[in-house]
Amino acid sequence: MDKRKLGRSGLSIAPMVFGGNVFGWTADEPTSFAMLDRFVERGFDAIDTADVYSAWADGNSGGESETIVGNWLARRKRRDDVVLMTKVGMLEARKGLSAANVEAAAEDSLRRLRTDYIDVYFAHVDDTEVPLDETLTAFARLVESGKVRAIGASNYGAERLVQALSVSKERGLPRYEVVQPRYNLYDRGEFESGLADVTGDNELGVVCYFALASGFLSGKYREAKDFEGRDRAVFARNYLNDRGLAILAALDEVASQTGATPAQVALAWLMARPRVTAPIVSATSVAQLDETLGAASVALSPEAIAILDRASAATGG
């Protein structure tokens, strides 16, 4: 499978990342193991998790996803062919990006992941209360010790990302090599209005989350009754409007032309974006994962991309 570079980090990944937010929440450990096995069997190699996953679920306190990934790695007895991404800053017990917190959280994550290094360690969310040089210096110590290979910024705006890159250059510190924004066919404005240019100008990797807009772009939510009994669909409700339905119609049109599913088309559109390294995808069963990963084989024509662009950009999303 073709690999894509993650900025200037020296790391390369297949064009889809497995999102571990479901591990320990809607996917128990055996199901998570089966999906992780299938993911690497299909030629994919990057796994995204965070210390806060999945603290929001009843009975959880955070770290459940990392623990499952760590148990899987230990059972598999191979670490070198997987690119492991995790994050710091949102778990209540390890909140923020102070130097002490970043380094303590890294140790917690390494223990749960049962590994001695993290490939990409993300600041999960910008922390304006902490100087950028303090956070970046903490990351530098982790890189120098070999505990982290590269660092990334999740949920950073364009201006703050530029500032962080400037601090890294001026201080001789490791720079953010990968960014993780919300980006999909519906949510285009924030990334395309400035962040995309920053990533291009600085050769940064882009691994985007909410790639299917909380499942809305799969086409399974088309009217209010479709949300009944689906607690996880709370975010997808925000997309059920005239613009969202126009995007679904475009996805249906392209899906009928290509023989792909709407979800596969939506992911293929992301993988074809010039600034995107890979979308993050998740699943709750092996069958669902197999369908999702099929998006990597969907080639969209310029005409198909134009149909999707018109539906998603014409009204200024």
Angle between the N-to-C axes of helices 286-293 and 262-272, in degrees from 0 to 180, rounded to the nearest 10 = 50
| pLDDT confidence of residue 315 | 45
* pLDDT (0 to 100) of residue 228: 74
pLDDT at 14 over 90: yes
Q: What is the mean pLDDT of residues 252-269?
A: 98
186 is catalytic: no
Q: pLDDT tens for residues 50-100? A: 999 999 999 999 999 999 999 999 999 999 999 999 999 999 999 999 999
Which contiguous run of DSSP H or E holds residue 5? Answer: strand 4-5
Q: Is the pLDDT of residue 314 over 60?
A: no
The mean pLDDT value for 14-26 works out to 97
Does residue 316 have a pLDDT over 60? Answer: no
Relative orientation angle of helices 242-258 and 302-313, to the nearest 10 degrees? 170
From CA 123, how far away is CA 291, in angstroms rounded? 31
Q: Which residues in 170-179 are b (16+ Cβ under 10 Å) and which e? A: eeebbbbbbb
Q: How confident is the model at residue 147 (pLDDT cuts 50, 70, 90)?
A: very high
The reported pTM is 0.95
> What are the Cα distances from residue 187, in Å, to 77, 181, 209, 243, 248?
39, 10, 11, 11, 14
201-255: per-residue pLDDT in tens? 999 999 999 999 989 999 887 877 777 766 666 677 889 999 999 999 999 999 9
Which carries the bigger pLDDT value, residue 134 or residue 234? 134
More confident residue, 223 or 284: 284
The Cα–Cα gap between 128 and 96 comes to 9
H/E segment holding residue 160:
helix 158-171
Dihedral angle sign, alpha carbons of residues 184, 187, 189, 193:
negative
Backbone angles phi, psi at 51, to 5 degrees: -65, -25
Superfamily of domain 4-180: NADP-dependent oxidoreductase domain (3.20.20.100)
Q: Give the mean model confidence (pLDDT) for residues 151-179.
A: 98
Q: Facing residues of 281 across strands?
A: 18
- As given in the structure block, the two tokens for residue 251 are 């996805």
Residue indicated by tokens 């910024």: 153
Least confident of 15-24, 206-215, 235-244, 279-288: 235-244
Domain regions of the chain by residue span? 4-180
Q: What angle do CA 171, 137, 174 make, to 5 degrees?
A: 65
Counts for the chain of helices (H) and strands (E), in that order: 11, 10
Give the model's confidence band at 190: pLDDT under 50 very low, under 70 low, under 90 confident, else very high: very high
The pLDDT score that the predictor gives to residue 317 is 46
Residue 113: band (very low, low, confident or very high) from pLDDT cuts 50, 70, 90: very high
DSSP bridge partners of 278: 207
Which pLDDT does position 233 carry in this prediction? 67
Among 44, 83, 15, residue whose Cα is nearest residue 272? 15
